[in-house]
Amino acid sequence: MPDAIESDQDMDVAHSEVLELGIPVACRSCQARHGVVCGALSSTQLRELGRHSLRRKIDAGCEIVAQGSESSFYSNIMRGVVKLCKVMPDGRQQIVGLQFAPDFVGRPFVRESTLSAEAATDAEICVFPRNLLDRMISETPELQRSLHDQALKELDAAREWMLTLGRRTAEEKVASLLYLIATHAEPQTATSTAFDLPLSRAEIADFLGLTIETVSRQMTRLRKSGVISIENFRHIVVPDMDELEKKISA
């Protein structure tokens, strides 16, 4: 298990290391990629934020924020996929969201997190101190607006998944997830799409409210019906996205 970012000490150490090395810890690259946070800030603010923020590589499986913990930072995803998880005391677990670059991670205005955020793939994030960003949010309506927009987007997504969880069959669920990932992954031609699954079968099951066996069966079902082809477990090819979409029936 890779180590988690557990406290601001952890971050501060890393940060000062970087400063000592004289590496520019700027957020300009975020802006270049239209990072949710950085796109809304003036260049003065960007410079200040850059001085106190930190770009950080995260291994797959590393926890960014733990459920029930108080986190003193926010992040912006620069690369990779982050999964948001809720677990019950008895161990049952549900993934309640997937986030991709350049999404913002963290719940503004509330310190304690009701869910954990964990890198699903190797990832890179830009870490901001909570206090500083909270101040900038209050001072910058445009930033507030950006984050509000993202919250609404996530809300729409969450509700779409509620429909999937509550009312779709196992096959429709798996097709929905493949469709979601395909449309958020990079390399797609006109109709055909190929991508790497950022999630293991177990994680897919936890996202869809199924078991790994059912996920596996439905994947081979989709393969046998020619909607997808599977190479090396993780790599999926969708010859015709329309066919995949039909399996969702929505």
Partner DNA sequence: GCCGGCAGTTGATCTAGATCAAATCGTGAT
Partner DNA sequence: ATCACGATTTGATCTAGATCAACTGCCGGC
Question: Does 155 sit near a copy of itself (CB under 8 A)?
Answer: yes
Backbone angles phi, psi at 85, to 5 degrees: -125, 145
C-alpha to C-alpha distance for 134 and 49, rounded to whole angstroms? 11
DSSP states of 184-222: HSS-B-SS-EEEE-SS-HHHHHHHHT--HHHHHHHHHHH
Among 4, 25, 219, 228, binds DNA (CB under 7 A): 219
Segment lying near DNA (by CB under 7 A), choices 20-28, 112-120, 122-130, 210-218: 210-218
C-alpha to C-alpha distance for 88 and 21, rounded to whole angstroms? 43
Question: Does 209 sit near DNA (CB under 7 A)?
Answer: yes
Measured from the Cβ of residue 5, the count of other Cβ atoms closer than 10 Å reads: 21
* CA distances (Å), origin 183, targets 116, 188, 195, 238: 24, 9, 10, 11
C-alpha to C-alpha distance for 117 and 100, rounded to whole angstroms? 12
Question: Does 242 sit near a copy of itself (CB under 8 A)?
Answer: no
Among 122, 154, 196, 243, binds a copy of itself (CB under 8 A): 154
The listed partner (DNA, a copy of itself, none) that binds 233, CB under 5 to 8 Å by sort, is: DNA
C-alpha to C-alpha distance for 73 and 130, rounded to whole angstroms? 4
Among 28, 33, 51, 86, binds a copy of itself (CB under 8 A): 86
* CA distances (Å), origin 186, targets 78, 79, 129, 209, 245: 14, 12, 30, 26, 18
C-alpha to C-alpha distance for 14 and 176, rounded to whole angstroms? 39
CB of 100 to DNA, least distance (A): 20
Segment lying near a copy of itself (by CB under 8 A), choices 18-26, 45-53, 57-65, 103-111: 103-111
Among 34, 47, 145, 223, binds a copy of itself (CB under 8 A): 145
Number of residues that bind DNA (CB under 7 A): 21
Among 66, 230, 240, 245, binds DNA (CB under 7 A): 230
Question: Does 202 sit near a copy of itself (CB under 8 A)?
Answer: no
The listed partner (DNA, a copy of itself, none) that binds 214, CB under 5 to 8 Å by sort, is: DNA
Among 34, 135, 159, 246, binds a copy of itself (CB under 8 A): 159
Measured from the Cβ of residue 190, the count of other Cβ atoms closer than 10 Å reads: 6
Question: Does 87 sit near DNA (CB under 7 A)?
Answer: no
The sheet carrying 116-119 orders its strands as 63-65, 116-119, 81-87, 93-100
Q: Which residues bind a copy of itself (CB under 8 A)?
A: 84, 86, 88-90, 92-94, 96-97, 107-110, 114-115, 138, 141, 144-145, 147-149, 151-152, 154-156, 158-163, 165-168, 206, 208-209, 249-250
